[in-house]
Amino acid sequence: MQSIRAIPSRLLITSAALALAVAGPLAAQEEPEPAEESSATAASSGGYDTLGDLNLEIPGLGPDDPIINQEEFDLANEIYFQRCAGCHGVLRKGATGKALTSDLTRELGYDYLQSFITYGSPAGMPNWGTSGDLSEEEIDVMARYLLLDPASPPEWGMEEMRESWKVVVAPEDRPTEKMNDIDIDNLMSVTLRDAGQIALIDGGTYEIHAVIETGYAVHISRISASGRYLFVIGRDARVNMIDLWMETPATVAEIKVGMEARSVETSKMEGWEDKYAIAGAYWPPQYVIMDGDTLQPLKIKSTRGMVYDEQSYHPEPRVAAILSSHYRPEFIVNVKETGKILLVDYTDLENLQTTEIEAERFLHDGGLDSTRRYFITAANARNKLVVIDTKEGKLVSITDTEGLTPHPGRGANFVHPDHGPVWATSHLGDESVALIGTDPEGHPDKAWKITETFYALGGGSLFIKTHPESENLYVDATLNPDEEISSSVAVFKIPDMKEGEDPPFITLPIGEWAGIEDGQPRVVQPEFNRDGTEVWFSVWNAKDLESAIVVVDDKTLELKKVIKDERLVTPTGKFNVYNTRADIY
């Protein structure tokens, strides 16, 4: 393995894509979404399961509207939900991705849209055409679809939630003690995106203990404070509550909280462990607090309202990241489009009290610093990091990352040799990594400032990761249009970092190590085992092609294991039970 300097991704794309990228009216992708097919799993009693399943009428066609029939419109609506809505919004008003309302798309024109969808950009827009994910016919339909006004889906309230709510195993019928010999703390919950499932894989033996039906394209897995229950939420807004104590772990309750969603969390404050769960929806824009034993919906709160700075009404302020405070009985709720962070006090749901912090627009993902006191989150389309003191319940700082479209996941905490404790994010829009100081007591001159920016493999990074027991920092480039870059990972040696110097990195050819010959597999989301001795990578291929999980020895950076199984369909996110529960990243 050889230490190399990054080759800017802008030099590795076609000239057509480069021209489009320079023009740049469209924007980066929010999360990994290159799925081969777009079939969602049946999830609830609502008659439809995802926004892509809705048979919406074509918005009134005028004499200047593109010709599109109902069958094509339904196909385009399904593709848009699968691949585009996460960034650009259900109503196409933009967030991580630019707005795609018809006044803007018609100015760009059909040819521009068709080319941009085909070639993508180094700012994180996937190359849907040249990668083979969309056919020429599908790209043609999408370009015409984007010239139309967006259709508005129906609402989803308490009546619909209650109809979808199921208690599969009542609390009194569940085990009173652990009934299996699984090392739960070292269990990996792995999203099988296009199968609508998760796989529970043993972090020690690499055995698949269970494959569980879930919502479509599970976005995250979260663990109850007790460590017993696993909560997952699909992009179709279906929440599964899985009992890890059962002889074979299985769903004990489920609910559908909307038609598109990203976030779920449980109460962690001492004295409130496992009492409540919360889920946030993209559509309708709202969050719901549920009973922690049964997922019974208790309180729904809409997030529609005024944008913090412009004081203009926004119809679709989506709920992005949700974290649970360790210092107060509160949920921390990011409201993307209005730029507000809500501290939701769950001690009295009938008299719900919420602290509303004006932060920055387009809030997305983020995580806690190493002390778990400070919440650091990306306002990605504004290229900023927002810091909240969860102990005092107030805004601390808003800082420019100096990079384009930060996308940290939960981020990465480590001690820099010169800067002390820092938290790191990579970026969708360029190849940079930014470090922000997190030690106001020991390093006050560096606290909440960007202390260093350096370069990794290329734009299109989704996740960055380290571990308290590791000396390595891993950065993926999943959505980079260059095949070699998107199938590799950059590794930085933390002890060798020096202030003012760009650290070299080692490139791990994870895709090559997986031994997959067909398709364009992308490597996504480094995740450590509990002890921090191994790091796992998803090698994510098309639904009908082989995928894998590659395990690397953190000390030697050598291949340790390739996990292949016909049940591993499009693996993406991986979540170690202990690290996720304890907020270690």
Please list the active-site residues. Answer: 84, 87-88, 125, 364, 407
DSSP E strands in 303-352: the ranges are 305-306, 313-314, 319-324, 330-335, 340-345
Strands (E), 390-521: 394-400, 412-416, 420-426, 432-437, 450-455, 464-465, 472-476, 489-493, 505-508
Q: Which of 428, 33, 478, 462 is nearest to 217 (CA)?
A: 33
Nearest to 221 by CA among 204, 249, 243, 240: 240
Q: Length of the chain, please?
A: 585
In the 8-state DSSP scheme, what is residue 406?
Answer: B
ω before 284 within 30° of 0 (cis)? Answer: yes
356 class by beta-carbon count within 10 Å (0-12 exposed, 13-18 middle, 19+ buried): middle
Residue 84 zone, left/alpha/beta (φ > 0; ψ -120 to 50; rest): alpha
Cα 303 to Cα 324: distance, rounded to the nearest angstrom: 18
> Nearest 5°: phi and psi at 285?
-75, 100
What is the greatest pairwise CA distance in the chain?
Answer: 67
Pair 273, 582: CB distance under 8 Å = no
Secondary structure letter of residue 173 according to DSSP:
G
Distance CA 585, CA 580 (A): 8
Strand partners, 398: 386
